[in-house]
């Protein structure tokens, strides 16, 4: 029976999401410019009053990804300041995260299925094994915030579809 490695379940998936989100942001800029929409209207848009705005959704996607691969590999997580206020700055953040995760080799990630991962979530210490952390925590968070960023832009008139989300 074929198996999938921790590397294959993380780095290529995260790379695709970051690239797709980068492309969607390009389309958002073109849409805003063509329709004379203030970029801030999109960057600060949210689906509900108690949800994070687009900018924060993108930041969380990158935070989850860089945190995951760093924890699995046992290296220090790079710190981002969360000061992005423009599409260009968000795209720089996405590119920085893409560059960062591209430095990881399979041997740094593979074999971490049973690695103990400990982190604080909402002030509480939470313990995971590597595989559960990747599949049942990080992947779900990444897709939630990626989907929300997509939905915010779609809701605000950006003509994008499943192909944009999937990157096909």
Q: How many angstroms separate the Cα of 42 from the Cα of each of 97, 122, 142, 159?
A: 22, 28, 20, 14
Coarse DSSP helix, strand, coil percentages of the chain, rounded to the nearest 5 percent:
60, 5, 30
Global confidence as pTM: 0.94
Query: Across the chain, what does the average pLDDT equal?
Result: 96
Q: Where does the pLDDT of residue 125 fall: very low under 50, low under 70, confident under 90, or very high at 90 and above?
A: very high
H or E stretch covering 118: strand 116-121
Q: How much is the pLDDT for 121?
A: 83
Architecture of domain 6-166: Up-down Bundle (1.20)
The answer to whether 128 and 117 are in contact (CB under 8 A) is yes
How much is the pLDDT for 1? 62
Domain ranges of the chain: 6-166
What is the predicted pLDDT for the residue at 76? 96
> Which of 53, 39, 10 minimizes the C-alpha distance to 145?
53
User: Do 25 and 98 contact (CB within 8 A), yes or no?
Assistant: no
Query: 25-41 pLDDT, tens per residue?
Result: 999 999 999 999 999 99
Query: Which position has the token pair 């410019």?
Result: 33
Distance CA 152, CA 150 (A): 6
Give the pLDDT confidence score for residue 40 in this predicted structure.
Answer: 98
> Percentage of residues in the chain with pLDDT exceeding 70?
99
**Cβ proximity of 24 and 82 under 8 Å:** no
pLDDT confidence band for 2 (50 / 70 / 90): low
Mind listing the pLDDT tens digit for each residue in 94-111? 999 999 999 999 999 999
Residue recorded with tokens 């960057």: 43
Beta-bridged to residue 116, according to DSSP, are: 129
The mean per-residue pLDDT over the stretch 5-28 comes to 97
């Amino acid at each position: 029976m074929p198996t999938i490695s921790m590397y294959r379940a993380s780095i290529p998936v995260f790379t695709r999401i970051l690239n797709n989100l980068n492309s969607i942001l390009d389309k958002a800029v073109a849409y805003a410019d063509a329709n004379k929409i203030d970029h801030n209207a999109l960057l600060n848009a949210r689906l509900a009053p108690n949800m994070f705005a687009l900018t924060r959704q993108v930041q969380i996607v990158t935070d989850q990804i860089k945190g995951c691969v760093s924890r699995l590999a046992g290296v220090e997580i790079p710190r981002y300041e969360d000061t992005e206020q423009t599409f260009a700055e968000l795209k720089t953040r996405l590119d920085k995260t893409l560059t960062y995760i591209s430095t990881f080799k399979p041997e740094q990630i593979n074999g971490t299925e049973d690695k103990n991962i400990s982190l604080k979530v909402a002030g509480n210490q939470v313990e995971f094994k590597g595989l559960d952390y990747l599949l049942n925590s990080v992947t779900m968070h990444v897709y939630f915030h990626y989907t929300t960023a997509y939905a915010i832009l779609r809701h605000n008139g950006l003509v994008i579809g499943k192909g944009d989300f999937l990157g096909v």
